[in-house]
Structure 1
């Protein structure tokens, strides 16, 4: 049974013999890097970068479901990209707009 599943994956139009497999597989590096940045202070997060990661994830997640054959590897990596981007944007927005720490007035 496992051999037939592996054979089906190997021969799939979006399988490991095609760019449709390898491009999304390498794209996982972006999501992994974003996860590694979860420990980065929010003030060092870039709005343009995270908006780009989030939008790319959302747009390509949708696209991966309307093409034939469905590319589940492409779908999963883009859901991860959208999720990590949204999380990073949430951290940045919370720090920039909802932080209760107020700067002390400068006396001079």
Structure 2
């Protein structure tokens, strides 16, 4: 059912896509595929990470930031070795890794300051 609905929507959209956007529309990692929409949805993690920059350092979960940093780095590499290369997946994962590495540095610095006080 969902597949038939998707195909009918794409059939209608194929007719109204402007010619200058045709290469993007027909690209193997274009809007007609999950290779486009998965990275677009993942930008939510980046937005959440940027929002967490205001969070106090004592409230940062170190295991969570380590996990998100690792997945960001791993998927950044993976997105460049798959075919087709998925640069949108690469960019979102670089930003996920960067925001989480920054958070991790804040958490570690906070924990070090607690040790120094003792």
TM-score using structure 2 length: 0.79
The residue aligned with 1:48 is 63
C-alpha offsets along residues 36-62 of structure 1, whole Å, 9 cap, x if unaligned?
000000000001110111001000000
Aligned length: 101
**Quick check: which one's helix share is greater?**
2
1:20 aligns with 2:20: no
TM-score using structure 1 length: 0.86
Q: Which has the larger displacement, 91-100 or 18-27?
A: 91-100
The residue aligned with 2:44 is 29
Gaps of 5+ in 1: 104-108
Counterparts in 2 of 1:1-108, with a 5 A limit? 3-4=19-20, 6-98=21-113, 102=117
